[in-house]
Structures are given as C-alpha cells and as structure tokens.
Structure 1
Amino acid sequence: MSEEQVRALRRVGRAWNRVSAAPSVWRRALPVEPDMGRFPRSAEPAPAWFGRLIPLPPLPGPGHATPPTGPAEPAEPAGSAGPAREAGPADRAEAPEEAEAAANPRGAVLRRVLLGAPLASSAFVTERMRKLVALPVLSADALSSVAYGPEAMLTVLVLAGAAGLAYTFPVAAVIVFLMLAVGVSYRQTIRAYPHGGGSYIVAGDNLGPVAGLVAAAGLMTDYVLTVAVSIASGIAAITSALPGLTPWTVPLGVAVIVLLLAGNLRGIRQAGALFAAPTYAFVVAMFALIGAGLVDAAQDGFRAAPTPSVPVTEAVGLLLITRAFSSGATAMTGIEAISNAVPAFRPVEWRNARTTLTWMVGLLIAMFAGIVVLIHLTGVVPRSDETTLSQLAHLSFGQGWFYVYVQAATAAVLLLAANTAYNDFPRVLSLLARDDYAPKVFLRLGDRLAYSNSTVALSLAAALVYVAFDGRTGALIPLYAVGVFLAFTLSQSGMVVHWWRRRDPHWRKSLVFNATGAVLSGLVLLTAGVSKFTSGAWVALLAIAVFLLVTTRVHRHYATTREALRLRPHAVDLPARPGAGPLTPAVRTGSAADLRESEELPEEIRHLSVVAVATLDLAAMRTLAYAASLAQPVLVVHISTTEEEERRFRAYWSLWGDHLPLQTVLSPYRAVVAPLVHYIETLHRLNPGLTLTVILPEIVTRHRRHQFLHSRTAPRLRRSLRRLPKIVITTVPFHLPT
C-alpha cells in the first residue's frame, strides 16, 4: 500500500470504531476454533534421480489437524509498500485447476502423474541452472539456427545464379561481424542489469514505457516464430533423411509442440536436463561435419567445386543482397535469451550469464562460418527436397551411420531449440502482467515453478502459426527478422542512454559497444522491413501493432480498476448502526446426522459468515461491512502464498483496527482456491450444525471481454463445495465504472 492508502486505511478503521462492536465481542461470538494449521504442511526438496520432488503430506481433516502455526506477529509497515505491491482482487492470479482438483481428485492424480509432484516456493533456488545446463537450454535457438540461417541466405542469392552466389562470403562476413557486435553488446547489458535485462526492461527503463512495449511486442513475436521455425526446420531435417514422412509434416510438428508443452510444464530443471544432450550432440555433429569437409577439401587443394547450373530469376542488385543479408541474419535469433534469463543462473548469476554468453557467441560464429566455407568449397545450392546440411553430410559421410547421426542431432536440436522461447516467453509475459499490460493470470507460477498459463499460450500461438504456414521454413523466415531486430535495436539503444546517464567506470567503451550494436541492428531491421514486406514481414508488423493495441487497452482497464478500488474514507460502506455486533443464536444439540439441513424455523439456524479477502481495498471493505451488518458471527480468511505476504496483510489488518476475527492460511505451493476450499470443508466437518455463508467480493465489469482480466473465485468455489450441505456462496458485487 502507498502512504496515502495507509492513511486512508487508518481513517476507515476509526470510522468502524464508531459503528461496530469491539473486536473482543466479535471474537467471543465465534462458534468455531479458526486456527487449523498450515495448508499443507511445508516440505523441503528431497534429492531424486531426476529432478527434485516434493512429497505432499495428506491434508488435515477432522481429528487429525496439523499443529497450529499460530498467528504471525503484525509488522508495522513503514508507511509505504515494500518491494512487492499488495495484490487486489483484480490482481490475484488464480488457476482454475486448483478448485477443479479439489472437486476432482482423479484429475489431480492425473496431473501429478503427468507433471510430477508440486514444488514448494522455497525450492525455487534449487531450480537454478549451472552453466553447462544453461548453455544448451538458453542457446539451443541461437546455435541451431546455423541449420537454416546460411541456407536462408543462399536461397535468396541463388535467384541471381552464379553472380549472386559470388556475394556469399561478403554477406556472411557482415553477418559474422554483426554476431560479434551484438554479442559484445549483450555482455554490457548483463553487466548493467544483473537481475535480468531483457529488451522490455532495458528499453522501458531508458527510452520510456512505449519503447518498452514495442520491444516486448518484437520479443513476443520472435518467441512464437522461434517455436514455429525451429520445429519446421527440424521436421525438414527428418523428411530429408526419410522422404516418406513428408506428407506428415504438419501432424509431426504439432505433436512436437505438445511434447515441448508437457516437458516445460514439468519445470526448469527437468527441461534443462532433457535438452542438454541434443544440443551438445548437435555441436559435436557440426564440428565433425566441418572438420571432415575441410579434410576432404584439403586433399583437393581447397579448390571450390563448380556451382551447378541454376535458373536466373533476378538480377544482382542492392535489394537482392539486402534480402539475403536479412535472411541470413536470422542465424542470430536467440542471442538475447541469456540476458533475459540471468536470474535463472546459479550464483553469481551475472558472471555465469556473461561466461555462458561468450561460449554461445564463440560457438555460433565458428559453426556459421564453417558451414558457409563448406558450402562454398562443395558448390552446394539449396534444394526443395533436401536441406543444405543434409547435402553436406551426404558428401562427407555418404549414407553411413554418421550421416544418420548428423541428421538426427540436427532434427533433435531444432525441435528442442524452441525451448529457448519456452524459457523466455513466460518470463517476459509475467513482467508485462506485473506492470498491468497483460492479464494477471500470467503472473502465477504453476505446480512445478513454471509459468503454466504462459507456456500453454505460447504453445497454442506457435501451433496456430505452424499450421497456417503448413510447416514450411521458407514461408516462415520472412516473418522472423522483424521482431528479432526490433527488440535488438531498442535494447541496445536503451543501453546507450543508460551509459550516458550513469557514466560508470569505462562507460565510454560500453557506450561504443552498445551504439555499434544498435546501429547495425537498426540497419537489419530497416532492411528486413523494406525488402521482405510483401514476402510476409507485413504479418509480423501487423502482429506487433495488434499486440500494442491489446496491451495498452489492458493497462487502461487495470488503471481504471485500481483507481476505482482505491480506499477513500467517504466512499467506504460501514456496518448498519452504532454498536452493531453479532447476535448469539440458540445452540442446538444432537448428532451430526440430525443437524444436516433439518432446520425448519429461522431461530434454529446457526450462522457463521466466512469472508474471503485478498487485500484491503474498497471492494473488500464493502464486503466486510455487508458481513458485519448481518449481525451474525464473522470470520475473515486470507490465503497467503508467502510468509512475507502473510505478515504484510496482518500488519495492514492491525492498522485498520483488527475489528473482525482474522485467520490467515499459508499455502507454500502458491495455490489460492484449493486451500480456501479445504479450509471451508474442514470447518463444515468439524461443525456440522453450522450454516456457513461464504462471502466474496466480486469485480463486475461493464464489458464481458474485461472479465477475463479478473479472478473468478466464486464459480470455482460453487463447483467445489456444492456437494456439501449447509454451505452458501454469496458475492458482494463491486461495479467498475468503465
């Protein structure tokens, strides 16, 4: 809460003092013991052969509740918010599967089998990657791009025949220099942003929020196309060796996307272990191919083989060369991935990230240059039925087992290179959601400490693009360069402004490096946008424009919601009358079976109102006032996903005046709905004679399309609790003005 909101909270609490009974009166009226312990008990990671699994203890129930943890001591906030902003009803990221799991145990068991046991939030540090794992996980996209980058460049140059192919070396040399310049530039970015310096953060911090959004738009487009292009190239490598599978190109690609989705939903470390071997196998295959090709060429005195006769469809000109350059520059995709993912490294994070980036750039330049040299020496030209790498492998190894190894390694790394996007797309989307530019549902970490909702969204978008373009790499490449180099340009331009403002030691050298990267990236962006506009670049530009439109509308809606929910003492509802307090209903006796829905007279019903609140905003205050005005016992429940959040909420509750009984439930597995469902179920089973009325604040939007931006807790609770008698779910609506 801001300083202003803290002052408003105190004033609201003083107003409650005048109209509500003393807190002790409300506590004595409670017909239940509210403290039932943690949900579930926290557990520490246990070493396992593959990954780290957290065994979940059985949930406490009647007769075997876990030991109570006791209320947390309220810590007086320093008048302003800490590092994390208090989440409100519009912000709380909740997952539908939580409540569904509570209502459907079989579904929960199936998810456990497919995805593994949930990881506690405290296990996040154990999911960091060391350099030898981070290199294949974060560099698979960049390293695997040598399988299609040189071929994409040649596909354009060959349109001019031998005259066009004569420009292979000059164009490739410029691309290598660009790789080096951009790689050095991102080393400076990692040094300046040791906690993660993706294009969105760098551009937003130094060039303004609009530039940050444009950079994010380029990144998101790039990540979706990374998945589609990598899988299309991987399937092409398979069909080059097995032409009979060509009709199955689209189904095979979609199946790979589904496998990547399942693998990434299992979490960071599992994905890293899975993707390390193919990437290293590909590096070995490329250096073996380059080495064998150079040995064969040395026997012929390094004489270049004659280029086969190809039809000439275009004359050599500036437009042709620039198109070839922008196509070949797609071999640089993924260079920025390491700077985005600095927090995913083991300590010291920034130093390990810089080292890994240096390894990646060195390997990328060596493989790209080696493949281009081999293409020149062998006279290989692109063909529609076989990839360039497959042709080179045939020349060096024939049809032997090492040819099969090269093709298998190439296909595997291309199919798994999409994992770079699966690591970075959810992270960028979570940053957008944190800044109110994307739905808050993308903030939630899933059971395996992965951004599950973002992972699913990326898979759906990539599958749609892949199917729409029939899995053809050549059709997807023109869309690729625009998003990649838009993000590069804005990130490096932002770093130039950063060094100019900070003027740290050696800032001039760093500024020159970043300025060089910005200028070169900007030239590639301009070249790709102009030369490939009609070939498909317009689709990427349109996607970026739509992204900007949607994110700005989402941000405007959240800003309106935040203003509407802001505490204003004169606008807060209060209980009905001075001195209002809970009535003391008659106590009924009898067995549990006799008490099940047998009330026939009003005085026979024993009430308990359970109010679930996420934060103390205007909607929550209206809900609390409504519950207190019923003059029945009230228990307020807050689900905290971290101990820090629990302490912060209790501190704000104390500032308000602690007028109503509060119970906080700590959920170390980040679940929100399931702990609330379980807590209410336990209350019911321990007190079958009570009628529980669960009261929730509900945000009501004027437009149906905005409802997706807010949590839908009430329907999930109804689905999960409707099988139990004497539980009523009601909501107190809060209507947004727009």
Structure 2
Amino acid sequence: MASVKRLLIGSPMETKRLKHEKLPKWKALAVFSSDALSSVAYATEEILLVLMLLGTGVFFFSLPIALAILVLLVVVTLSYRQIIYAFPSGGGAYVVARDHLSTTTSLVAGAALMIDYLLTVAVSISSGVAALTSAFPSLLPWKVDIALALVLLLMILNLRGITESATVFAYPTYLFIISVLVLIAVGGWQLWHEGWHGFNYQEHATATHFFSSGYGIFILLRAFASGCSAMTGVEAISNGVPSFKPDSSKNASITMGWMSFLLGTMFLGITILAAGFGVVPLQDKTVISQIGQHVFGNSIFFYLFQMVTMLILVLAANTSFAGFPQLVSVIANDRFLPRSLSARGDRLVFSNGIILLSVLAMILIVMFHGETHSLIPLYAVGVFLSFTIGQFGMVKKLWKEKNGRSTVTIATIMTGMIVTGLVTIITVVAKFTQGAWLVMISIPLLVVLFYKIRAHYDKLGEQLRLDEQEWKRREKIVEPKVIIPISGVSKVVAQSLQYARSISQDITAISIIFHEEEERKLREKWEKFHPDIELKVIYSPYRTILSPMLDYINEVEKQTKGAPITILMPQFIVKKWWHTLLHNQTAILLRFFLILKKDIVIATIPYHLKE
C-alpha cells in the first residue's frame, strides 16, 4: 500500500522545504485564475439561456449585460487588491470578517466560500465533459463516469504538491488563453469583413416592449445574475496569498490584475461574437463550441480548440484544489472544523482538505448527473455573498484607520460592496426556485456545524486542561482490578497473565462455556498452570459470549465503586492477512462495547505467531 502511495503522490518532503514550495506569478496565474478564466466558456451561454425565455429577439441585450458585468469585475478587483495587501496571510473574506466584523459573519463567509469552491469543481469538471461530448457525442452516455475519473486525477495531481501540480496546469491554461484570443481575433476579422449578421438591436427594437413589464425586468436581472458566473474564482488569489513567492502581497496583486484584464477581454469578446454570429444555445452543443465551429469550420483547429477548452474547464477545478484546503486549514486552526484539516501531508499540501473536496465534488456530480446548467444556479450565491462580506469588513477596517488614502479607497470598496450585495439579492430572488434555496439552507447549516465543532473542542479543552494544584491534591492511583477474558489455557493467556501480575495483584480470568462439562476440564488445566489466579467460569445456555461477559463486567464495576478496572485482551497476531478470516473477532466486538465505559481501561496483549 505504501509503495502505491509513493508511486501516485511521490516521496515525502521535509518541513524545511515548505519555503521553497512557493509559486512565481506566471504559475500562480494558472493555479489561482484558471477558474475565473475558464468561466468565459459558459458565462455567455448562461446569459443567453435566460434571455431565451423572452425569445431570440432580446439576445442583443447580452452585450449591455456583459458590459455591466465588466464594470462590476473592475470594482471587485480593485477591492480585493486592497484585501491582498491588508491580509497577506490569506483566508480572504473569512479572515477579513473574523478580524473586523463578527465570528458569525466570518463563518457565513467561510461557509459561502467552501460551497463556492465545491461547486467550482463540480461545474468546471461537468463543463469540461460537456465540451468533450459536444465534439464527440458518442461519449454522452459516459459523461458522469468521465467526470468522476477527472476529479480523481486532479486529486492525485494536487496531492503531489502545489509546485509540481502548478507546472502541469500552467501550459494548458496559457494554451487556452492564446486559443481564445486567436478565436476572438479571427472571429472579429470575419465580422469586420462579412458584416454583423447576428442579433441586432435596431432589427429587434420591438423587443424592448418586453421590458416595460415587471416580468421582462425580472428576466433581464436574472440573465445578469447568470452572467455573473464569469466572476467566480476572482477571490481565489486573495485566499492563497501565502502560496506566492516573496513579496507575496505584491505578486498576488499583480497576478490579480493580469487575471481580471484577461477575463474581461475574453468574456466581452466571446459575447460579441455570439451576438454577431447569431449563436443560439443548443441542447447538445455549447455556445463557445458553435462559435469555434463558425470561426474554424470543421478543421483540425476546431477540434484542437474543443480539446483545449475541455482541458481548461477541467483544470479550472484546480483553483478550488488550491483554495479550499487553504481556507479550511484556517477555519480548522480556529477550531471550527476538524483539526486534521489544518495538517500538511507528506508533500507539504493540506492533503485531508484535498481529499474532502474531491469526495464532496464527486457526490455532487453524481447527484446532478453531471449537468452544468443544473449546478450553476447554486453557484453565484456563495461567490457574491463572500464578496459582499469581505468588502464590508475592509470598509470597516479602513474607516477605523482613517489614513490619508482611505477616502478614495473606502469609496471604491463601498461601491463594490453595494453592487455585489445587490447581485447577491438578485441571484437569490432570480434563482431561488432553480436551486439557490439549497445554498441558502446549506450556509446556515454549515455555520451551525462550525459552532458545534467549536463547542466540542472548547469542552474538550476544559476537561483536559491540567491544573497543577488539582493534580497535586490527587491521591495515589488505586491498583486496578484486572479481568482477562480467555477461551482456554495457552501461551497467549500465559503471556497476558505475566503482564497482569506486573500491574496488579487482583486478577481474575473469565471464560464463557457452552457446555457444563467443559468447566471441569478447564479448571483442571488451569489449576495445573495458574493456581494463584482466580478463574471465573460462566455457563451460556444460548451460546452467546458477549452478553454474559458484559453482565459480569458490569457486576464487577458496581462492586468496585469507581475503582479502575483493566480488561486485558489476549490476542494472537497471524502472519498472513487472510488467516484473520479463519478466527472469530469477539475481542473486537467486546472492545467496541467497553470503550464507552468511563472507569474501564482496555488493553490488548498481542502474541505474534510465526506461521
């Protein structure tokens, strides 16, 4: 098993190597921005899918919606660059809210971010598989299986370490960026020469009457909320600042600027091409796939573009594999999640967080059958809720400091806070019946779970805290009553008795028999080898071992009145694993029932067999 683990994730790394496991800007862009950059593959389609409710006559409005989203992207980017400099330890909105708002607010932000990261994996993988099946429809029946295999592949790659995985993921990310920019350039050249032959505002001006009604406005806002999926992953860099090479804050800030510029350019370009070519969402072919086919035809370049798109959509999930473990480690250090999530594994990554994310994402993919459009309605709520909380915390922080540069900065961040808050409300209202209600329920449930975990750790700390004065007042430990369950007289039992004599003089061996005549033979042999040790024999007419054994131990427990009782379990250890199947496992069951008792110590005395 160990050799398989080494083969999959590599040899362990020393702790001192952690400072070398830092990312340069060009690798960090691939790791932390792949989610945001990949969203251009489906964000425009999400806008058009909502606008279809009013007919293709309103598809031209995808352009002003895209421009509004770009303005929001700029404001959020400026806000989060401030968070990067103010909180270089990472953690994003959770840490901002923890330090400057309240514990509950920070936990809401943490829960929202966790859900966001989980959905990022599910949506990205599902979208990648959708791109693959658009080019190769024969793979449709296996889309869920392909998605699960890809999650496992990403999990293994990330368990190998952040530097190694970043090298693997960097090249497909840059290949996608180049491919999309080429697509936009070539497509733009075609539109320039062929003319705009898609959706036109002048030709469909009558469509504006739809927006005179409340329903039309509602659909427009819902389309805007769906398009905001292009901004998912923008916060990832602020969560992973410690992963950057020094000066980490400066490098993270620069990387975030690059990411936002590329994201805005690609998203607007794709939306313009979709409108210019008159692309309509289809059941079995994505919008970006149709644009690629229109620009490249059925040439090899189209299929290469589809493969690159699939790769980036799959690798976009890596943003979560970088951000989720980092986030849960911070929350775990605050004792709101299991402490095991804060521990680094063999390869200096938060292995338990990576595995937890993988398992939850696979469950989600199976539940929603790998359908991207079923998952995206759950997506934007957590993203924009965390945006709003993070910026609110920054406004409060800067307001307290009130230094010379705070006025402009506060105004910028406050604008972002208000806009993202409105987007959160719009998203919840517009997508409530589509699945946003599930996120609105999940976040409070997660917060309750956080508090339950913290309460457990607090109670545990109180009970385990060592008080010097109390410890000095304690009386000398009482010699325990030792009980040894036996099935006969053997070397295993003899070894257990030898150990028992070293800790106590009050020793009793107990044996459960099914036939009364067995007692005489057992006692004769016992008197021959261990005459100084008391033997208790209990007849079990119904051939059960556990019940009479537990009854006897309970009776002894009452008689000792709180004095310690030690149960020594003689156990021989077989040489080959399958030999275990040839022997009963009564000791395991007995240990399971006794472990819950307060004043009983359970110990196993192993006897190793040679064959």
TM over 0.5: yes
Task: Quote the residue 1:190 is aligned against.
Answer: 84
C-alpha displacement of 1:406: 0.9
C-alpha displacement of 1:571: 3.1
When normalised by structure 1's length, the TM-score is 0.64
- Aligned counterpart for 1:232 among listed residues 123, 126, 132: 126
Letter of the 2:327 partner, please give it. V
Task: Quote the residue 2:113 is aligned against.
Answer: 219
Task: Quote the residue 2:585 is aligned against.
Answer: none
Alpha carbons of structure 1 residues 381 and 563: separation in structure 2 relative to 1, 3 Å: same
SS at match of 2:245: coil
* d(CA) in 1 for partners of 2:457, 2:496: 45
- Aligned counterpart for 2:406 among listed residues 504, 507, 519: 507
Q: How does 1:286-435 map to 2 (within 5 A)?
A: 286-302=180-196, 304=198, 316=211, 317-435=216-334
Task: Quote the residue 2:530 is aligned against.
Answer: none
**Structure 1 contact 189–197 (Cα < 8 Å) conserved:** no
* d(CA) in 2 for partners of 1:476, 1:413: 18
C-alpha displacement of 1:570: 4.3
* d(CA) in 2 for partners of 1:562, 1:218: 28
* d(CA) in 1 for partners of 2:333, 2:393: 21
Task: Quote the residue 2:395 is aligned against.
Answer: 496
Letter of the 2:290 partner, please give it. Q
Per-residue Cα deviation, 1:225-273 (whole angstroms, up to 9, x for no partner) = 0000001110010000001111111111011111111111111111101
* Aligned residues with identical type, % of pairs: 40
Task: Quote the residue 2:471 is aligned against.
Answer: 572
Task: Quote the residue 2:15 is aligned against.
Answer: 121
Per-residue Cα deviation, 1:79-120 (whole angstroms, up to 9, x for no partner) = xxxxxxxxxxxxxxxxxxxxxxxxxxxx22221111100011
* d(CA) in 2 for partners of 1:529, 1:306: 31
Letter of the 1:509 partner, please give it. V
C-alpha displacement of 1:502: 1.6
Task: Quote the residue 2:369 is aligned against.
Answer: 470
Task: Quote the residue 1:181 is aligned against.
Answer: 75
C-alpha displacement of 1:318: 1.4
Task: Quote the residue 2:349 is aligned against.
Answer: 450
Alpha carbons of structure 1 residues 294 and 565: separation in structure 2 relative to 1, 3 Å: same
* d(CA) in 2 for partners of 1:420, 1:565: 39
**Structure 1 contact 138–423 (Cα < 8 Å) conserved:** yes
* d(CA) in 2 for partners of 1:170, 1:246: 34
Per-residue Cα deviation, 1:186-231 (whole angstroms, up to 9, x for no partner) = 1111121122251100111111111100000100110110000001
* d(CA) in 1 for partners of 2:499, 2:351: 47
**Structure 1 contact 195–350 (Cα < 8 Å) conserved:** no
- Aligned counterpart for 1:482 among listed residues 381, 384, 388: 381
Task: Quote the residue 2:564 is aligned against.
Answer: none
* d(CA) in 1 for partners of 2:78, 2:316: 22
* d(CA) in 1 for partners of 2:432, 2:129: 26
Letter of the 1:443 partner, please give it. S
SS at match of 1:140: helix
**Structure 1 contact 289–396 (Cα < 8 Å) conserved:** yes
SS at match of 1:436: coil
* d(CA) in 2 for partners of 1:344, 1:398: 42
Alpha carbons of structure 1 residues 510 and 597: separation in structure 2 relative to 1, 3 Å: farther
Letter of the 1:321 partner, please give it. L
Greater RCO, CA 8 A, separation 6+: 1
Alpha carbons of structure 1 residues 603 and 467: separation in structure 2 relative to 1, 3 Å: closer
SS at match of 1:166: helix
* d(CA) in 2 for partners of 1:234, 1:158: 23
* d(CA) in 1 for partners of 2:451, 2:606: 39
Q: How does 1:30-179 map to 2 (within 5 A)?
A: 107-179=1-73
SS at match of 1:572: helix
- Aligned counterpart for 1:278 among listed residues 152, 164, 172: 172
**Structure 1 contact 486–522 (Cα < 8 Å) conserved:** yes
Task: Quote the residue 2:531 is aligned against.
Answer: none
- Aligned counterpart for 1:441 among listed residues 340, 347, 350: 340
**Structure 1 contact 190–197 (Cα < 8 Å) conserved:** no
**Structure 1 contact 124–449 (Cα < 8 Å) conserved:** yes
Root-mean-square deviation (CA), in Å?
Answer: 2.9
Task: Quote the residue 2:136 is aligned against.
Answer: 242
* d(CA) in 1 for partners of 2:500, 2:285: 83
**Structure 2 contact 11–346 (Cα < 8 Å) conserved:** yes
C-alpha displacement of 1:351: 0.6
Work out which of the two has the higher radius of gyration on C-alpha atoms and give 1 or 2.
Answer: 2
Per-residue Cα deviation, 1:453-479 (whole angstroms, up to 9, x for no partner) = 111111111111111111111111110
* d(CA) in 1 for partners of 2:462, 2:293: 66
* d(CA) in 1 for partners of 2:500, 2:60: 95
SS at match of 1:335: coil
Task: Quote the residue 1:206 is aligned against.
Answer: 100
Task: Quote the residue 2:455 is aligned against.
Answer: 556
1:524 has 2:423 as partner:
yes
* d(CA) in 2 for partners of 1:702, 1:322: 56
Letter of the 1:112 partner, please give it. R
C-alpha displacement of 1:572: 2.1
Alpha carbons of structure 1 residues 602 and 214: separation in structure 2 relative to 1, 3 Å: closer
* d(CA) in 2 for partners of 1:236, 1:324: 21
* d(CA) in 1 for partners of 2:393, 2:325: 22
Give unmatched runs, 5+ long, in structure 2: 479-492, 505-593
- Aligned counterpart for 2:439 among listed residues 515, 522, 540: 540
C-alpha displacement of 1:302: 4.3
SS at match of 1:287: helix
- Aligned counterpart for 1:254 among listed residues 137, 148, 151: 148
* d(CA) in 1 for partners of 2:496, 2:405: 80
Letter of the 2:84 partner, please give it. I
Which consecutive aligned stretches of 4+ in structure 1 deviate over 3 angstroms post-superposition? 301-309, 573-578, 596-607, 700-704, 721-725
* d(CA) in 2 for partners of 1:359, 1:398: 31
C-alpha displacement of 1:505: 3.6
Per-residue Cα deviation, 1:567-608 (whole angstroms, up to 9, x for no partner) = 334432667569x9xxxxxxxxxxxxxxx987987899699x
Alpha carbons of structure 1 residues 187 and 703: separation in structure 2 relative to 1, 3 Å: farther
* d(CA) in 2 for partners of 1:374, 1:701: 67
* d(CA) in 2 for partners of 1:559, 1:268: 33
Alpha carbons of structure 1 residues 123 and 297: separation in structure 2 relative to 1, 3 Å: same
Greater helix share, structure number: 2
* d(CA) in 1 for partners of 2:75, 2:476: 72
**Structure 2 contact 39–232 (Cα < 8 Å) conserved:** yes
SS at match of 1:558: helix
When normalised by structure 2's length, the TM-score is 0.77
**Structure 2 contact 75–412 (Cα < 8 Å) conserved:** yes
* d(CA) in 1 for partners of 2:398, 2:61: 37
Letter of the 2:457 partner, please give it. Y
How many residues are matched?
497
Alpha carbons of structure 1 residues 374 and 556: separation in structure 2 relative to 1, 3 Å: same
* d(CA) in 1 for partners of 2:357, 2:121: 9
**Structure 1 contact 190–339 (Cα < 8 Å) conserved:** yes
Give unmatched runs, 5+ long, in structure 1: 1-106, 581-595, 608-699, 705-713, 726-738
* d(CA) in 2 for partners of 1:441, 1:348: 29
Task: Quote the residue 2:549 is aligned against.
Answer: none
SS at match of 2:55: helix
Letter of the 2:103 partner, please give it. P
Alpha carbons of structure 1 residues 519 and 233: separation in structure 2 relative to 1, 3 Å: same
* d(CA) in 2 for partners of 1:278, 1:419: 12
